[in-house]
């Protein structure tokens, strides 16, 4: 997950964009009565399963184990869950001699007890090493430290996690490094060969887990450089024999961004041609550029969600979708990219009182009309 939205378009909505989006959004908001193939209350997980897809959501241990409405919302709609932070390096190894899997294990048990699939997020990510690793990561021992962590983490959950984001957000063309890799010491020293080693370590730690590379900002018109860089990166990983099974597309969207369906459709096809599965791993839709009116925001967010998912689900290599949370109440966007007016963003399927919003129905409609796998 991004802590900022650096690559996202920043234009404000104009009248023409509003009229187009609002027209589409009204249709999306009314799908529960005019288009849906399933009754309006059919959970998203059941709609997805009917098409051979999996619908899931990110969870946070705090509200998951303290707020019944939150837990009920997860259990009603999700067939898969992924921890927001609980499996990352900083919380799982706060000191060099101490591992702490308490909250991650609680989430894993919750998944097992409720027969939910579990994703692991994330083994290797430049933003989350614990403070004690700072000097080591920059040294000759840095790559070994990262690989050892990945092995320990994935081994701990062996047999419990269906798939892992093994490496997260390794591509940063703006950093000017070889192969468009992010400027981070382990990548600088080892390049793509090191990232391939991360996947080999993950496969060794859990031979039965699906292994994914996860990244952001490949959906919009102005992100062609990132699409090209990531495709080249995935091709090189495959050519080096890395045991990579899929590409996770985060899908942090922005409600009024310029979206070319043909460009995105072609990109998805090119990823599929590499023999990779594709999953949307962190879907939300920021309304940060929209006017305050709630009805307007909900309408445009729903329209954008539907437009995006119709293209996404049309690619046969797509296996499912996770939203980055079910309810607006706990979205990372409120702090990660707040609105100037400080209003709560309406970026997820349920509002802060856990009521379904037009976005929920847009997802339902997209699932109902997705091709069967």
Residues marked active site are found at 169, 282
Q: Which long-range contacts (CB under 8 A, 24 or more apart) does 224-228 make?
A: 224/263, 225/173, 226/7, 226/171, 226/173, 227/267
The encoded tokens of residue 35 equal 């288009």
Question: Which one, of 53, 57, 54, 50, lies nearest residue 71 by Cα?
Answer: 57
The CA distance from 373 to 271, in Å, is: 17
Question: Which one, of 184, 188, 189, lies nearest residue 169 by Cα?
Answer: 184
Question: 3-class SS at 252?
Answer: strand
Question: Which one, of 127, 130, 78, 134, lies nearest residue 107 by Cα?
Answer: 78
Residue 167: what are its φ and ψ, rounded to 5°? Answer: -125, 135
Q: What is the DSSP letter of 12?
A: P
Q: Taking a C-beta distance cutoff of 8 angstroms, is the pair 278, 268 a contact?
A: yes
CA distances from 169 to 123, 127, 213, 236 (A): 11, 9, 8, 16
Other residues' Cβ atoms within 10 Å of the Cβ of residue 72: 11
The CA distance from 180 to 225, in Å, is: 10
Strand partners of residue 248: 214, 279
Residue 30: what are its φ and ψ, rounded to 5°? Answer: -105, 10
Q: Taking a C-beta distance cutoff of 8 angstroms, is the pair 189, 142 a contact?
A: yes
């Amino acid at each position: 997950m991004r802590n900022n939205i650096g690559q996202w378009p920043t234009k404000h909505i104009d009248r023409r964009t509003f009229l187009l989006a609002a027209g589409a959004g009204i249709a999306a908001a009314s799908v529960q009565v005019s288009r849906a193939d399933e009754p309006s209350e059919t959970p998203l997980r059941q709609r997805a399963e009917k098409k051979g897809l999996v619908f899931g959501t990110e969870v946070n241990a705090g509200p998951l184990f303290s707020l019944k409405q939150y837990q009920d919302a997860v259990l009603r709609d999700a067939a898969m869950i992924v921890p927001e932070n609980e499996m990352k390096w900083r919380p799982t190894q706060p000191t060099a001699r101490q591992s702490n899997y308490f909250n991650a294990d609680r989430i894993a048990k919750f998944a097992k007890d409720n027969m939910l699939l579990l994703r692991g997020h994330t083994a290797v990510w430049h933003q989350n090493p614990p403070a004690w690793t700072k000097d080591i990561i920059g040294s000759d021992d840095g790559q070994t430290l990262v690989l050892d962590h990945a092995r320990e983490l994935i081994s701990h959950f062996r047999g419990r996690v269906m798939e892992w984001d093994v490496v997260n957000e390794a591509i940063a063309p703006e950093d000017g490094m070889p192969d468009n890799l992010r400027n981070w010491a382990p990548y600088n020293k080892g390049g793509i060969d090191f990232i391939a080693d991360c996947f080999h370590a993950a496969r060794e730690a859990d031979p039965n887990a699906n292994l994914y590379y996860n990244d952001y900002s490949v959906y919009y018109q102005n992100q062609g450089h990132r699409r090209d860089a990531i495709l080249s990166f995935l091709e090189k990983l495959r050519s080096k024999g890395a045991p990579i099974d899929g590409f996770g597309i985060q899908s942090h969207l922005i409600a009024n961004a310029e979206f070319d369906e043909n460009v995105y459709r072609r990109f998805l096809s090119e990823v599929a041609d590499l023999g990779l599965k594709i999953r949307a791993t962190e879907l939300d839709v920021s309304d940060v550029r929209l006017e305050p009116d709630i009805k307007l925001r909900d309408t445009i967010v729903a329209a954008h969600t539907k437009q995006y998912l119709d293209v996404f689900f049309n690619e046969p290599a797509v296996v499912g979708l996770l939203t980055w949370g079910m309810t607006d109440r706990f979205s990372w966007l409120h702090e990660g990219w707040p609105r100037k007016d400080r209003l709560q963003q309406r970026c997820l399927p349920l509002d802060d009182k856990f009521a379904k919003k037009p976005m929920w129905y847009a997802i339902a409609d997209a699932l109902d009309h997705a091709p069967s796998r």
